Structure 1
Amino acid sequence: MKTTLKSLTTFAAGLLLSVSALAQSVDGTVEKIDADAGKVTLRHGEIKSIDMPPMKMAFRVADPKWLQTLQVGDKVKFDAAKVNGQFTVTAITVVK
């Protein structure tokens, strides 16, 4: 039992490291905020992790509270992933 638990713990730790290695912070600019829809429109650079070229696009946000801290024109660094079939901002930070 101890060996199985240790193996599962090691596997889970490795999986988390693999997922975090895939995350790629991208530079962007906030173009529009739609709090009612839980979306933010960002002009951004290439997002290699989801095979997306530079463009302007509306993303869902993993936490709608983030939208309260953003303003149009903010420069941001963000991570994005495809969650339940939708492109979603999974982390975002305003760059000063």
Structure 2
Amino acid sequence: MKQWIAALMTLAAAAAPAFAAEAAAGPNTPAPPRDARPPAGDALTEAVVRQVDLATGMITLKHGALDNVGMPPMTMTFKAKDIAMAKRVRAGDSVRVRVENVDGVMTVVKLEK
């Protein structure tokens, strides 16, 4: 029993400096620097328009990773936010897009040529 208590006291003594250092940091310690990537809400992904269907407002894109919706690079058809967006592009155009899940439908909400 005495050995167990001695081991516990040794462990407590060894851990004390670590707890003291953490407490000394306190709430006034500056936050670590953020990485230089833009906020997720502003991220645009490189893509190439493969097909545009003006009747349905659908745009087929070969796109890079869409991190905000957890989608790897692939070719997929998306709903355009509005018909005007679909009318601005043609098959073969290189674009930058923002895709979001809008009411359960993957939708191109921002498109730049």
| TMscore range, shorter length | 0.7 to 0.9
Distance in 2 between residues matched to 1:62 and 1:39, nearest whole Å: 9
Output aligned runs, 1:42-61, within 5 Å: 42-61=61-80
Quick one: which amino acid aligns to residue 40 of structure 1? I
Runs of 4+ that moved beyond 2 A: 20-23
Provide the alpha-carbon RMSD of the alignment: 1.3
Distance in 2 between residues matched to 1:86 and 1:68, nearest whole Å: 20
TM-score of the aligned structures, taking structure 2 as reference length: 0.63
The alignment of Structure 1 onto Structure 2 pairs a total of residues equal to: 75
Q: Indicate which of 89, 100, 103 corresponds to 1:84.
A: 103
Q: CA deviation at 1:64?
A: 1.2
Q: Name the SS for the 1:49 alignment partner.
A: helix
Q: Which runs of 5+ in 1 are unaligned?
A: 1-19
Q: Which residue of 1 aligns with 2:22?
A: none
Quick one: which amino acid aligns to residue 44 of structure 2? S
Q: Which has the larger strand fraction?
A: 1
Greater RCO, CA 8 A, separation 6+: 1
Q: Tell which structure's C-alpha radius of gyration is larger.
A: 2
Output aligned runs, 1:13-92, within 5 Å: 21-23=39-41, 24-92=43-111
TM-score of the aligned structures, taking structure 1 as reference length: 0.74
Q: Which runs of 5+ in 2 are unaligned?
A: 1-37
